[in-house]
């Protein structure tokens, strides 16, 4: 594209110079031989106007009735006329315009876009599902849409609505290159703010909206097989007035929905045995982890020494290498659309056939590390030999992960922690256990622990736990107050009726209240009355 623009400018400039020089030569030659007729001069003027349509006006010509617009400038620019300073002055500030080339927005588009704008504001806290899909009460989403009218006379709208949809995108669909198989869109809520045409005055108009997202819905995710997103779309359609049609005003936003699962107070304890050896691994680890932060796993290996009475030797299993790895497994059920769904002849015509889908699986590593040191060993005796260590595992900094998710169609995202240990066998005399010799025998011990990856709950709580408190001790009716509307009653101050807590009035002095003041508008109560 740049070389086309360069050649275009070059061609236009060369053509312009050639035409101007040829016209100048013809004018000079014809002026020396004979006088130019008015008709020919008019045709030359029209041709010069066509030429100079590519070059806009530079400086006004003083006598435009006897010469074309360029004649005076060409005469001044010639070496036979005037001083060089005037010719130099007339040869700068040239500007080339292209009437057929439009860049940027047009006036109509800019005015229409500034006539009305649409914006929004979320008033609810971050959208978080607390608990699993079976027990979560959902999350509240509330906010306002702001329609800003910038016209003095106002603007009339045909319709104004908004929708919230759940969009599931399958990256490996049932049928490749099929839009219906790849995209499943479910409308969760639709708000109709204007059900009939209405004229809105100039200013800002607020339209509230709210929805309760059910707890079984999936959280936002973007994995290798599928992506889940919540899309909020709003559209306001203005009505045409005076032949001026405004385009619809649209607003599209994506809501981020998270899920937070409860964290157990105590770590999970697991014991593994690795036959045919006597090695026993005791592990304490947190069952619920978060994308940010480190997690600690405590490991202890027992039974790593064995006494061989026949050979009077001791067999040791020594730890040489340890590798931990966090794995994410995604299972996606890719459904088939109506066009590509296989027909089931066993289903009657009036019955709805079951949805056909295919299972897609993918496993990736979101964090790993290999250790060669960092554990404590004790090979003093057969009974006291053990290996202890505490390792920290975490999610990779640049890993693209998804929290544990489970959909109703069977799609889910799970995580597990894999610990792999390489041990080698060594022999030592029973009376000299420190003098061990490698035998060349080694084993690989693997352990898998189910892990739940979830977002942090923070200081937020579920919406159903935010209900105001209920006061059980409130009486069924308010207490009696002095009535000033009845005839014959006197109105007294509140400090004259109700005794202050410390027995002192607001002025600081102890008021002297005769008995008749209390009887002016209040009936004395006995003990227990009015409760």
Q: Which DSSP state fits 62? A: S
Q: Where are the alpha helices (DSSP H) in 131-271?
A: 179-182
CA atoms in the 13 A half-sphere facing the CB of 396: 16
Q: What CATH number has the domain spanning 109-260?
A: 2.60.40.640
% of the chain surpassing 90 pLDDT: 45
Rg of the Cα trace of the chain?
Answer: 44
pLDDT > 70? residue 240: yes
Q: What is the mean pLDDT of residues 8-36?
A: 55
- Band (pLDDT 50/70/90 cuts) for residue 479 is low
Q: Are 144 and 121 in contact (CB under 8 A)?
A: yes
Instruction: Please give the pLDDT value at position 76.
Output: 44
Q: Predicted confidence band at 72 (pLDDT cuts at 50, 70, 90)?
A: very low
Q: How far apart are CA 20 and CA 54, in angstroms?
A: 12
Question: Tell me, what's the pLDDT at 68?
Answer: 47
- Region 226-235: what's the mean pLDDT? 96
Q: What whole-number distance in Å separates Cα of residue 57 and Cα of residue 61?
A: 10
Q: Report the mean per-residue pLDDT for the chain.
A: 76
CATH number of 268-340+354-453: 2.60.40.640
* pLDDT above 90 for 349: no
The yes-or-no verdict on residue 482 having pLDDT over 50 is yes
Predicted pLDDT of residue 161: 95
Top pLDDT among 435 and 12 is at: 435
187-213 mean pLDDT: 93
Residue found under tokens 């794995």:
327
Count other Cβ atoms within 10 Å, centred on residue 272.
16
pLDDT band (50, 70, 90) for residue 101: very low
**What Å distances lie between residue 49 and 19, 68, 380, CA to CA?**
12, 8, 108
As annotated, the residues of the chain forming the CATH 2.60.40.640 domain(s) are: 109-260, 268-340+354-453
Top-confidence residue, 30 or 55: 30
CA-wise closest residue to 251 among 148, 105, 153, 156: 148
Rounded mean pLDDT of 296-313? 90
Tokens of residue 422, six digits: 């390489």
């Amino acid at each position: 594209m740049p070389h086309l623009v360069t050649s275009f400018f070059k061609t236009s400039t060369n053509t312009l110079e050639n035409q101007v020089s040829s016209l100048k030569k013809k004018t000079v030659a014809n002026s020396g031989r004979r006088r130019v007729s008015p008709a020919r001069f008019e045709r030359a003027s029209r041709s010069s106007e066509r030429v100079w349509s590519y070059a806009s006006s530079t400086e006004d010509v003083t006598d435009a009735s006897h010469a074309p617009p360029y004649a005076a400038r060409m005469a001044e620019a010639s070496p036979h006329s005037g001083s060089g300073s005037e010719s130099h002055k007339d040869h700068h500030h040239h500007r080339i315009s292209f009437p057929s080339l439009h860049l940027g927005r047009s006036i109509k588009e800019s005015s229409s876009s500034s006539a009305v704008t649409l914006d929004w504001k979320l008033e609810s806290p971050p959208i978080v599902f607390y608990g699993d899909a079976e027990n979560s009460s959902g999350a509240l989403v509330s906010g306002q849409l702001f329609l800003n009218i910038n016209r003095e006379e106002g603007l009339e709208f045909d319709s104004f609505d908004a929708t919230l949809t759940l969009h599931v995108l399958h990256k490996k669909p049932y049928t490749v290159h099929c839009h219906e198989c790849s995209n499943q869109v479910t409308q969760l809520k639709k708000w109709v703010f204007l059900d009939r045409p209405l004229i809105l005055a100039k200013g800002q108009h607020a339209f509230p909206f709210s929805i309760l997202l059910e707890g079984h819905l999936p959280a936002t995710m973007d994995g290798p097989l599928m992506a889940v997103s919540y899309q909020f779309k709003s559209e306001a359609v203005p009505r045409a007035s005076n032949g001026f049609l405004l385009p619809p005003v649209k607003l599209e936003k994506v809501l981020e929905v998270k899920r937070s699962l409860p964290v157990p107070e105590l770590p999970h304890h697991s014991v593994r045995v690795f036959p045919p050896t006597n090695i026993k691994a005791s592990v304490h680890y947190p069952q619920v982890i978060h994308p940010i932060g480190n997690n600690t796993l405590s490991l202890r290996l027992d039974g790593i020494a064995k006494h061989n009475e026949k050979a009077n030797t001791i067999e040791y299993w020594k730890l040489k290498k340890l590798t931990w790895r966090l794995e994410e497994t995604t299972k996606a059920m890719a459904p088939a659309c109506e066009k590509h769904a296989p027909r089931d002849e066993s289903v009657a015509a009036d019955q709805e056939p079951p949805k056909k889908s295919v299972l897609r699986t993918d496993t990736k590593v979101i964090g790993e590390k290999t250790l060669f040191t960092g554990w404590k060993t004790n090979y003093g005796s057969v009974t006291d030999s053990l290996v202890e260590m505490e390792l920290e595992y975490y999610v990779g900094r640049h890993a693209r992960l998804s929290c544990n998710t489970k959909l109703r169609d069977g799609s889910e995202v799970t995580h597990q922690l894999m610990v792999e240990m390489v041990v080698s066998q060594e022999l030592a005399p029973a009376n000299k256990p420190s003098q061990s010799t490698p035998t060349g025998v080694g084993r690989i011990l693997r352990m898998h622990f189910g892990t739940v990856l979830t977002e942090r709950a923070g200081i937020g709580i579920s919406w159903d736990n935010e209900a105001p408190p209920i006061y059980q001790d409130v009486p069924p009716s308010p207490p009696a107050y002095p009535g000033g509307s009845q005839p014959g009653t006197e109105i007294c101050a509140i400090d004259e009726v109700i005794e202050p807590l410390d027995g002192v009035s607001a002025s600081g002095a102890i008021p002297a209240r005769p008995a008749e003041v209390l009887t002016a508008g209040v009936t004395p109560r006995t003990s227990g009355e009015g409760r």
